[in-house]
Chain A
Amino acid sequence: MKRRDFVDIFLGGSLLATIAAFLYPVVRYVLPSRSAGGGVQNSVIAAKAGELPPNTAKVFKFGSAPGVLVNTAEGKLVALSGTCTHLTCTVRFDAETETLFCPCHNGRFDLGGNVLSGPPPRPLETYAVEVSGPDIIVSRKS
């Protein structure tokens, strides 16, 4: 191959690569992301409507941290941060007392996030809950 042909082919290839580089972000933007996303996330689909029977709860991923979605015995949906404010263990729902407790040192919170007993120094952050069609959406309160 002559040097001139090689340069022409290489320049043509580079032009195609440049076009691809322009198109790649467009394609990534149009197609949904494979991962749920990290960093600060302001809202998330925590569950499907009807997924939680009354007086049960589920832990969902909110950013990189856990959140807890509770469907109370009266059927009210409540969402809170799932990270205990003592030593960052993940809290669990106690259906018998309708409270959240930490399995590490038994810190206990009410469903408003307030500390009821144990060593946690601060309340749990509470989130806004909205049922939108088939989804239960949990968002940070601004």
Chain B
Amino acid sequence: MNKRAIRVFAAAALFAPLLAFGQKNSCVECHSQLDDELKAPAAALAADIHAEFGLSCKDCHGGDPSQDDVDLAKDRTFRGSPKRQDIPQFCGACHADAAAMRAFNPALRTDQLSQYWTSRHGLLLKAGDTKAAVCTDCHGVHGIQSAKYPKSLTFPWNIPQTCGRCHADKAFMEPYRLPTGQLEDYKASVHARALLEKKDLSAPACNDCHGNHGAFPPSVSSVASVCRQCHPSTGELFMKSPHKKAFDEMGAGECEACHGNHKILVPSTAMIGTDDGATCAQCHDKGSRGFEAAAEFRRQLDGFESGFRAAEGLLAQAKQKGVEVSDVEFKLQDVNTLLVSAKNLTHGLDGAEIAKAVSEGEKALVGVRELGEKALDEARFRRRGLAVTTALLALFGVALALKIRHMTRGRVDKSRRVE
């Protein structure tokens, strides 16, 4: 297989320039004149990444495109369209062959096929379920674009929709007894907001947590490891926390137990504590140690955060009144670092650590608040100065008017005396 594949690619690479100069391709010539489904491959081929590299129909389907006669074109090498269950092997003939792929892109991975056979899709296909996703379901058939192009089905911000074509289809998923709300849940998540609205390509789509060719739902015990790929410090804190052992014993899904899976919302201090909606209260009963600790964490963080917001408001007011506050803003950013760190420390459940970060932050906040008040005092002083100046100017106007009247009257008296 390797030698054959190498020969195919070597020939394709050699003759690629000829293709560009209009080498005969009877497949395209005929299919262009056909209707709908049979015309589509010829129409889509121009934008296909394989065509970009000089490959043509025969490189996948075999046959002799130099022949006008259909019977001659479909010679003994003609393979036609593969059956659905054969597609992974069909694509893998080249894509799993490192030597063959090297001629086109030496950096391209060639383990997709072996990964696929370990995926839930691959296992189902192997078991005879031809509804299971194969290469073409995610990559398309003809007109396959590089995953680096934004119109590709596998470009990051298209992936949720690509997976959702099957996974959000109730009728399609019904035999698998799988939920179909993942796409809608994901779209409401903080990850989707970053990826789909802010176009942040580093934000995770389905494949970042489930894998792509080896797609499989992460097991309960590996959720934290998956999340840690992007949230390392949070994962480390969790691993050291008493929650790790407790969650393992309960079989709870680590990060997922509090943050959910597909619908992960922007975390806030409202998740901590004992209010309705606080995640701590879902497990910790009133009066328990955990319940009391959650209430205390919330009290400390709320106090710190409201102080921070008040200081931020003071500076915004002063800035709006035209006072230069960049020095204080610079100091406030350090307090922001302490506030965000203190919130993150809740994953470790170390009360002393949290209290230390909060106390350090509140101490720094006192200085910032004093400077903010000073800035506002300066704004008030300027406003008073403006009022005094305006009054003085008015008085100046009156004095000037009096002086002019006095001078005019003196001149009139003098002229009368002359008469």
Which 8 A-B residue pairs are closest in the complex by CB-CB distance?
Answer: A38-B326, A64-B326, A106-B233, A64-B329, A89-B337, A104-B340, A121-B200, A14-B396
Q: How many angstroms between the C-alpha atoms of A120 and B194 in the bound complex?
A: 11
How many A-B residue pairs have C-beta atoms within 8 angstroms? Tell me: 89
Other 11 A-B pairs with CB < 8 A, given A36-B327, A61-B326: A66-B330, A83-B333, A87-B340, A88-B336, A88-B340, A90-B334, A104-B337, A105-B344, A106-B232, A106-B233, A117-B230
Our pick among A11, A64, A106 for the contact of B396 (Cβ within 8 Å) is A11
Q: How many angstroms between the C-alpha atoms of A83 and B332 in the bound complex?
A: 12
Chain A residues with Cβ under 8 A from B403's Cβ?
7-8, 11
- The verdict on A75 contacting chain B, using a C-beta distance below 8 Å, is no
- The verdict on B89 contacting chain A, using a C-beta distance below 8 Å, is no
* Contact yes or no, B326 A10, CB < 8 A: no
- The verdict on A53 contacting chain B, using a C-beta distance below 8 Å, is no
Chain A residues with Cβ under 8 A from B336's Cβ?
88-89
Chain B residues with Cβ under 8 A from A106's Cβ?
232-233, 236
Chain B residues with Cβ under 8 A from A63's Cβ?
326
Our pick among A35, A66, A89 for the contact of B324 (Cβ within 8 Å) is A35
Q: A14-B392, A36-B326, A122-B200 are in contact. Are A103 and B402 (CB under 8 A)?
A: no
B-facing residues in A72-121 (Cβ within 8 Å) = 83, 87-90, 103-106, 115, 117-121
* Contact yes or no, B333 A88, CB < 8 A: yes
Chain B residues with CB under 8 Å of chain A are 194, 198, 200, 202-203, 230-234, 236, 324-327, 329-330, 333-334, 336-337, 340-341, 344, 392, 395-396, 399-400, 402-403, 406
- The verdict on A50 contacting chain B, using a C-beta distance below 8 Å, is no
Q: How many angstroms between the C-alpha atoms of A117 and B231 in the bound complex?
A: 9
Q: How many angstroms between the C-alpha atoms of A11 and B327 in the bound complex?
A: 42
Q: How many angstroms between the C-alpha atoms of A37 and B344 in the bound complex?
A: 33
With an 8 Å Cβ cutoff, the count of chain A residues facing the other chain is 34
- The verdict on A65 contacting chain B, using a C-beta distance below 8 Å, is yes
Chain B residues with Cβ under 8 A from A28's Cβ?
none
- The verdict on A39 contacting chain B, using a C-beta distance below 8 Å, is yes
* Contact yes or no, B230 A38, CB < 8 A: no
- The verdict on A4 contacting chain B, using a C-beta distance below 8 Å, is yes
Chain A residues with Cβ under 8 A from B234's Cβ?
105
- The verdict on A17 contacting chain B, using a C-beta distance below 8 Å, is yes
Chain A residues with Cβ under 8 A from B233's Cβ?
104-106, 118
**Chain B nearest CB, measured from A44 CB (Å):** 11
* Contact yes or no, A7 B406, CB < 8 A: yes
* Contact yes or no, B232 A117, CB < 8 A: yes
Q: How many angstroms between the C-alpha atoms of A106 and B334 in the bound complex?
A: 16
Q: How many angstroms between the C-alpha atoms of A90 and B234 in the bound complex?
A: 18
* Contact yes or no, B324 A118, CB < 8 A: no
Chain A residues with Cβ under 8 A from B324's Cβ?
35, 37-38
Chain A residues with Cβ under 8 A from B340's Cβ?
87-89, 104-105
Chain A to chain B contacts (Cβ below 8 Å), 27 pairs: A4-B406, A7-B406, A11-B403, A35-B324, A36-B327, A38-B324, A61-B327, A64-B327, A64-B330, A65-B329, A65-B333, A66-B333, A87-B340, A88-B340, A89-B341, A90-B333, A90-B334, A103-B341, A104-B337, A104-B341, A106-B232, A117-B230, A118-B231, A118-B232, A120-B202, A121-B202, A121-B203
Q: How many angstroms between the C-alpha atoms of A58 and B37 in the bound complex?
A: 64
